[in-house]
Chains A and B, each alone.
Chain A
Amino acid sequence: MSFDILLPGITLIPILGVVILLLWQRATKNQAAVIGILSEGFALFIPILLLPSIRNKGEIIFSLRWIPNMSISFSLALNWLSLVFLLTEVLVTLAAMIYSLGEETGEKNSNYYYALLLLFSLGMSGTTLANDVFLFYVFWELMLIASVLLILLWGHGEIRFKVALKYFIITHLGSLMVLVCLVTLYINFGTANLTELTQQASSLAQNVQVFLTLFFIIGFSVKMAIFPLHIWLPDAHTVAPMPVTIILAAAMLSMGTYGILRFPFTLFPVETLQNFAIWMMIAGLISEVYGALMALAEKDVKRIIAYSSVSQMGYILFGLGTLTASGMQGSVMHVVYHAIVKALLFMVVGIVISLARERDIEKISGLGKKFPALCVCAAIGVLGISGMPPLGIFNSEWMIFAGGFESNISTALTVITLIGSILTVIYALRFFGSIFFGETKPEGLAIKSPRALIIPTIAVTAFLVIEGLMPGPLMAWTIKGLAGIFGGVN
């Protein structure tokens, strides 16, 4: 029995959830959460059901005519590459929704809050599944609008208006660059279908290919928050309510990586991309070191982890820039592992802030003795982000570095990137040591950590350990997923 027909359900079920939530004005937070979690749960369940079919066919496509005279269709495609990204973002959203139950956010207008969370997730799932450039852009913007509204309506402090505007403008600038490329492709080939575009794009003039690749990479790098395009990230992460921060950092950043893989890396031959390889590696290295230095200088616990994302995205861009199978596979795996670690660390930060009512790292210390479970979760998170084996990031990092050496672009650059990773260890240990060691402060610390927050945190910690110990399935999926990149990576 084929479940292929269920594919559009990944986008339709959340829409149904949104409609129910919008109609159910009197829904309490728990009721709204149940709708949200159920919708997201189903959206997670469908790709799992479709796994055997993907294994057989390699790709499942669903297509519905939408604007026929413009050759635009509601076309979705699920393959190994999109599966990895889809599962990551749906799982992260699910974890964030469960974590929301223990948070104060969304106590009022819960139905709108969960509806927007669902729309945010829908934007990401749609972006991942879209097989039509027009549809892709619609979902891409939906993701932005939903997240901006979440920051605007439930963000912290009056500054949220400014931050939301900044976030919107800067990421929208990136989106516009992507739009320019999509429109150029559409005009040149008269089709919006990605499968058709993939077959034809390499026939474009070389200079057009170079121009499009440049615009695609810069546009998607904004979403990835690569230095110096990261400027929106620290503020947005800091001001957003914690569940939204979790989704932003752990899931939405990965959309940039997906975009780079789905468009320039799939559409154009490797010769075109070679022009950008070293620049991507350099930008990745700068981002890695710069983000780590900022995390070291920062005192706000939430911003420390936010800057860490800038650094981690640097590794991913570096890996993509190597243009090797190991490097790109490492990058995709890093997206997944980073999502898990970042979700965990933000969950820990959320609990720390809720316990201490304080965000300055110098004013918080000694929580380890009082909250051992939290301390263990944080320790695993910190070791995870430091690339300590057997936790997952170790696997992805060494593959990225291996890609660097295999690329033969610059051994020195790879060595610097590799040694630069020591900065991650330093800021991660500073974060952990300052918060969990020493005399307990501040005064008036909460006695117990909220169970609704600690349970999902422990679950994510366990998931991180399991993923690290059993990287096999993820590896296999990413290898298959990358098979389509510039006609198969050598």
Chain B
Amino acid sequence: MVDGSVFLIALIFSLPILVGFGLAFVDAVMRKKFLLYLALSLLFSIFWVYRFGELEIITPLSFMVEEISISISNASLLIFFASLLSLIGMIFLHDDAKHQISGITALLLCVSISFGFIAFISGQFMIRYIALDIVGLIAALMVLKSLKDQVTFRSFTLIFVILRFGDLSLLASILLLKSYTGTLNITDMLNTAVTLPLNVRLWVFAGFFLAVLVKTAVWPFVLWMRHAHKGSNGATFWVSGMLMPSLGYYLLYRIQPLIDSSGQIKTFVVLIGGGLILMTLLLDFLDHHSFDYFSLMGGLSGSFLFAASAFGPKDHLKYLIAALLLYRFMYYLQGKLFSSGFNKFVTLMFLIINTAFVVVSSDQLPLAFIFGWATFSLLVAVWGFLRDQRLRLGDVRVRVIKTYLGDKSLHWIEKGALWINKNLEIAIFTNGIYTLGRAFNDSARWINEKIEIGIFTNGFYRLSDVLEGSAGWLSDKVEQGMERFWSWSGNTLMKISEGTFVKFEVEPSQKSEILLDNALNSLDKYEQNVLRKNLRLDLVWIPLFLLIIFVLILVV
């Protein structure tokens, strides 16, 4: 049985790459068809592997002295299956008039399928990380249109850098865990993780969770998804729109034991989930350009999943993930269709998924959680509906006031009712809601201005400016300062050397030359003087006499 599954796994990995290379040689229409057939055959293969059940396969390959293992779980196959299902839809939806699938794009798409699959089934964390990194790169590459377009390159950079940030935080957690477990085997690592001291667990969890937040493109990391959505369409958007979030969801699924291991982490995750839902709604309420429909709903469904991962049973979580992935495709479709009727269906689907999850898991969920889950689900459903209707609370308010405070001759009962309505219903409940709404509005505006625009949107650019500015400042002050210091040191050294050289080498040498010259000159002068005088021949007698005396002495 294992042999059959190994063959199928190898097929699922290699077939897309082989087909991808082949697609370079066919025309755009055929390319689309082949991609469709590929997706269908992969779906069939995954279904077949699913039938083999959960498997752990040790391959003969190794990475950095660590054996590479494959861990087939129902959850990974189910999520990948859901993700591939959406690929079929997205290939259908691909707008050829806007951007045809080129040979390179098709190859990249196929490679992303292969490595996406590896990321799902790898039993070794570093292989999973590598696969995620490659999928991230491909997601970013998909927005590149042509080599002449520097704007799309900026989008590419932004997507790549943000996704890489998530990958690095994932890497930090993997390596921190490895330092305790001494292995890269995912199951062993996560089993050990839950036994570690809380402070270490928090570090590990923080890295993993940050990676999940980035990959699922929730606020504030939604920025990369907006650029990816804008820059690609249909099949090319699948990598960033579907595959990447599904990998993020799966990571969340895998780290659920870690979340489960501590009440603090659980509470944190639920709060983050709820907070993100509110924050997303607030921002969208203020300015519906903050999110496109896809990013909005993606962020919201991701946030629900975080909350579910904290308290929901793991068995049900995988189905929720698969359902939310299909739902993700639905609202992608809604973004394309802009149909009011379809929107109702999408909203209803969201409610059905959430209700089903809470009903099925109700025996294991705390009551407060169920209440919160239901409230937030309704809130999001209503929001989805209102957003589609292009209604704002401001319009509702005007309509309510016109209806209830219009000039009419009224019966006293009606007057009484109106009074109650005016002073209680309108003043307290309705206007109270508006007052709350205004506060909501103001706080949302503040968050939008200060955090979203101020920090995350402009902040990103400002940070880049600050970075460049500080880099420039460092370059000018520190680098040039050091340059000046070294130049100064060099010059001073040169001056000292020069002074010493002049004082002790040049000057003494010059002085000795002058002395020598003077001596030679005086000698010369003396010689000249001597030569100038006439020879005194009378003095010749002196040696002559001395000679005679000497001879006489010798004779005597």
Contact = CB atoms under 8 A, between A and B. Distances in A.
B474 A401 contact: no
B153 A422 contact: no
B164 A436 contact: no
Nearest to B157: A429
B553 interface: no
B475 A298 contact: yes
Interface in A429-448: 429-430, 433, 436-439
B474 A293 contact: yes
A294 B161 contact: no
Nearest to B182: A406
Nearest to A166: B486
Contacts of B490: 165-166, 169
A463 to B, nearest CB: 20
Interface stretch (A56-64, A215-223, A388-396): A388-396
Interface in B130-182: 130, 133-134, 137, 146-150, 153-154, 156-157, 160-161, 164-165, 168-169, 171-172, 175-176, 178-179
Contact of A389 (B134, B153, B157, B169): B134
A299 to B, nearest CB: 10
A421 interface: yes
B168 A296 contact: no
A375 interface: yes
Interface stretch (B188-196, B229-237, B352-360, B464-472): B464-472
Contact of B153 (A405, A418, A433): A433
Contact of A401 (B65, B165, B175): B175
Contacts of A366: 147-148
Counting contact residues on chain A (CB < 8 A from B), the size range is 35 or more
A406 B182 CA distance: 10
A418 B475 contact: no
A182 interface: no
Nearest to A368: B147
A392 to B, nearest CB: 12
A411 interface: yes
Interface residue SS majority, chain A: helix
A297 B172 contact: no
Interface string A369-395: 100000100000001001011100011
Given A170-B486, A293-B467, A388-B133, A426 B153 contact: no
A62 B134 CA distance: 47
Interface string A396-439: 00110110111010010011001101100110011001001111
Interface string A282-311: 000000001001101110000000000000
Contacts, number: 113
Nearest to A427: B471
A165 B175 CA distance: 44
Nearest to A386: B164
A411 B161 contact: no
B308 interface: no
Contact of B179 (A169, A406, A421): A406
B482 interface: yes
B223 to A, nearest CB: 15
Contacts of A383: 137
B479 interface: yes
A387 to B, nearest CB: 9
Contacts of B467: 293, 296
B474 A419 contact: no
Contacts of A296: 467-468, 471
Nearest to B493: A169
Nearest to B474: A293
A269 interface: no
A176 interface: no
Contacts of A368: 147
A383 B165 CA distance: 15
Interface in A347-374: 365-366, 368-369
Of residues B164, B179, B475, which shows the largest number of chain A Cβ atoms within 10 Å of its Cβ?
A: B179
A166 B487 CA distance: 9
Contacts of B442: none
Contacts of A166: 486, 490
B488 interface: no
B113 interface: no
Given A402-B178, A475-B65, A425 B160 contact: yes
Nearest to A471: B64
Nearest to A169: B490
Nearest to B483: A231
The residue in B149, B161, B479 that gathers the most chain A C-beta atoms within 10 A of its C-beta is: B479
B526 interface: no
A231 B471 contact: no
Contacts of B475: 294, 297-298
A228 interface: yes
A411 B148 contact: no
A212 B544 CA distance: 84
B221 to A, nearest CB: 14
A402 B66 CA distance: 14
A383 B156 CA distance: 13
Nearest to B471: A297
Interface string A221-256: 000000010010000000000000000000000000
Interface of A: 165-166, 169-170, 228, 231, 290, 293-294, 296-298, 365-366, 368-369, 375, 383, 386, 388-390, 394-395, 398-399, 401-402, 404-406, 408, 411, 414-415, 418-419, 421-422, 425-426, 429-430, 433, 436-439, 471, 475
26 contacts: A169-B490, A170-B486, A231-B486, A293-B471, A296-B467, A296-B471, A297-B475, A369-B148, A388-B133, A389-B129, A389-B130, A389-B133, A402-B179, A405-B176, A415-B203, A418-B168, A419-B168, A421-B168, A422-B161, A425-B164, A433-B154, A436-B147, A438-B148, A438-B150, A438-B153, A439-B148
Interface of B: 64-65, 126, 129-130, 133-134, 137, 146-150, 153-154, 156-157, 160-161, 164-165, 168-169, 171-172, 175-176, 178-179, 203, 467-468, 470-472, 474-475, 478-479, 482-483, 486, 490
Given A231-B483, A388-B137, A426-B161, 20 more contacts: A228-B478, A290-B474, A293-B470, A366-B147, A366-B148, A369-B146, A389-B129, A389-B130, A395-B64, A398-B126, A401-B171, A401-B172, A405-B175, A405-B178, A411-B203, A419-B169, A422-B168, A430-B157, A433-B157, A471-B64
